[in-house]
Amino acid sequence: MEVPLAPAHRGPILWKELLLAVSLLTLWSPPTTAQLTIPSVNATEGKDVLLLVHSLPENLFGYAWYRGERVDSNHRIASYVIETQNTTPGPAHSGQEKIYLNGSLLFQNVTLKDTGYYTVQAIRKDLQTEVATGQLRVYPENDYTGYPVETIAGILIGVLILVALATFLGYFRYRRRTERASDSRGLTEHRPSASTPGQGPSGTSTSPDLLHPSTDVYGRISPRADGAS
């Protein structure tokens, strides 16, 4: 069933009736298989930001964007009719938001107050709806790192792990060098010292005859030996 389009001057009334009918149908209609997604966005204040919508269903009648994590008419930013490309601002419209034909929501000159969750409601011509929520994070210009908080935390944890590993390896190498130096000193202390003249390796006295052996062998023969001959 297609929803008839009302004249331009009945735009707000049409959307109130349409959203009421959608709300009633959502209570008993089974969920559709397609899943909308809105990637979260990080930005600095003063920039233009676009919240994209992926996996849009077919036969769409229009969109409605809300501030927050659920569909709430009191926090509706704007509604958009695809066939007429008409936008109807809602209670939460600040004048800086714009809905495109593909369902994306543009923020012009974002501020820190724009940080939060945003929900899109895709309305089909048979009044079936699909809903998705995304997050917008706005940072001061000087504090923006370009990475989500979770990514920064992961980087810090990785750095700490690397520092711990480097410290452990450095300590291990220091211990190895210390043990080798200790073993070298032990071998030096237990090595026998060089012998000096008149002393043996153990420091005992050595006979002069052993140090300076005489070549006069025959002069040392006992006289008894001569008599015996």
Q: Which residues contact 116 (CB under 8 A, 6 or more apart)?
A: 67, 68, 135, 136
Q: Which residues of the chain have pLDDT under 50?
A: 1-10, 27-29, 32, 202, 210, 217-218, 225-229
C-alpha distances (whole Å) from 106 to each of 88, 93, 140 are 15, 12, 19
Residue 7 is predicted with a pLDDT of 42
**Both tokens of residue 187?**
């071998």
Residue 179 is predicted with a pLDDT of 77
Residue 108 is predicted with a pLDDT of 95
Residue 24 is predicted with a pLDDT of 54
